[in-house]
Structures are given as structure tokens and as C-alpha cells.
Amino acid sequence: MSKVDELRERDNGRFIVTDPVGRFLDKVHVEPNTGCWLWDAHCLPSGYGVFNFGGRVSRAHRVSHELFTGPIPRETQVLHRCDVRCCVNPEHLWLGDNASNVADKVAKGRQAVGESVGSKLTNADVVAIRNSGESAIALGERYGVDRNTIYAVRKRKTWKYVPEAFTALLDLAGTP
Ligand SMILES: [Zn+2]
């Protein structure tokens, strides 16, 4: 599809040229305290806004990056500095891969599952358990948990989000 065609929409059999930037900004209002551009149109259950752009339904924050900053390289995620998923302010977005996304969540201390108040195991314990050749019974005694807890950790039924390179990511998260 050519660039010109991308800017057109079919209307009663005729093509009309629409301006994607104007159409996009129509769906935005600025939050005065944070500067977030909040998406007033349709949002996914995950919280991300959606926008029909170039004949495709795309996540609004990704479209914002393309419209105002530049193309998004393949395999690249558009992440929020402000943590507001329905925010489409291009200045609140940055490009990263999945590893930097996880590291960012760790650094902000808002990983949703796993290590939490009341949890007997820590992220570091989970990495150690998965790398250990010891029996589940021995590990259960050492960490003060049931051996079924150890099995679940090893089979990734729990603590799924802790990646193999978690300690490396923690190091990454510590550097600006
Ligand atoms: Zn924002």
C-alpha cells in the first residue's frame, strides 16, 4: 500500500483524504499534572489504546511513536516511562526489547506476581532452586517450604516470570 493510500479511507465509494495526525489527536486529552496524553477512544482490556492506522488496528502508543518520533524497528517494543498504558505522549515512550521491559519492571518494583510480601521465596531463591541439582526435599528443608512448592517452581507452574538471566537483568536494572 502506498503512503498516499494509507492516508485515504473509503467513504461511500469515494476516497477521501484523512490526516492521521489530526484524527489521532482528536482522541487525546492532556493530563495537566503529568503531561500524559490520555487516550479517549477504545482501549484494550490490557489498558492500551487502539487506533485504526494504515488499514490496520494498532496499539495507539505504537502509532504515536510512528507518527511523532519515527519508525519502530522490528522486534522492538514501545515502552512507557510514565507507566500509564493508555498514555500516547511520544515523549513518555521509549524503545526497548523484552529484556529491557522486564528490567524496567524490576527496577520500578512493580512486577505483578512472584516475590511479594508474605512470600517465603525471593527471586534469587527461585533462580538458585532452578539451578540446583539437589532433591526437592533437601531444598524444601533449606528454604522452609513444602517440596511441592519446589516442584512447582522447577516446572515453572509458579514464578513463571523469573527468567533464567534474572540476576543479569537485576544488574542491568541498576545501571541508568
Ligand atoms: Zn505518560
Sequence spans of domains, the chain: 3-107, 114-171
How far, in Å, from the CA of 65 to the mean position of ligand 1? 13
What gap in Å lies between CA 25 and CA 31, rounded to an integer?
14
**Region for 33 from its dihedrals, namely left if φ exceeds 0, alpha if ψ lies in -120 to 50, beta otherwise:** alpha
Cβ neighbours for 101, distance < 8 A, ≥ 6 positions apart: 77, 79
How far, in Å, from the CA of 82 to the mean position of ligand 1? 5
How far, in Å, from the CA of 6 to the mean position of ligand 1? 27
How far, in Å, from the CA of 41 to the mean position of ligand 1? 16
**132 class by beta-carbon count within 10 Å (0-12 exposed, 13-18 middle, 19+ buried):** middle
- pLDDT tens, residue order, the chain (176 aa): 555 555 555 555 555 556 888 889 999 999 999 999 999 999 998 899 999 887 888 999 999 999 999 999 888 889 999 989 999 999 999 998 777 777 777 777 655 445 554 567 777 788 788 888 889 999 999 888 888 888 988 887 777 665 544 444 444 444 33
How far, in Å, from the CA of 134 to the mean position of ligand 1? 46
Strands 50-53 and 77-80: unpaired
What gap in Å lies between CA 20 and CA 97, rounded to an integer?
27
How far, in Å, from the CA of 119 to the mean position of ligand 1? 32
How far, in Å, from the CA of 63 to the mean position of ligand 1? 15
Closest CA to 79 of 63, 92, 64: 92
Number of alpha carbons in the 13 Å side-chain half-sphere of residue 88: 30
Query: Does domain 3-107 fall into CATH 3.90.75?
Result: yes
Give the length of the chain.
176
How far, in Å, from the CA of 17 to the mean position of ligand 1? 30
What gap in Å lies between CA 106 and CA 124, rounded to an integer?
13
pLDDT score recorded for residue 166: 46
What gap in Å lies between CA 11 and CA 40, rounded to an integer?
24
Give me the phi and psi of 97, to 5 degrees please. Answer: -105, -175
* pTM: predicted TM-score of the whole model, two decimal places: 0.52
- Start-to-end CA distance of the chain, whole Å, equals 40
CB-CB neighbours of 43 under 10 Å: 16
How far, in Å, from the CA of 61 to the mean position of ligand 1? 10
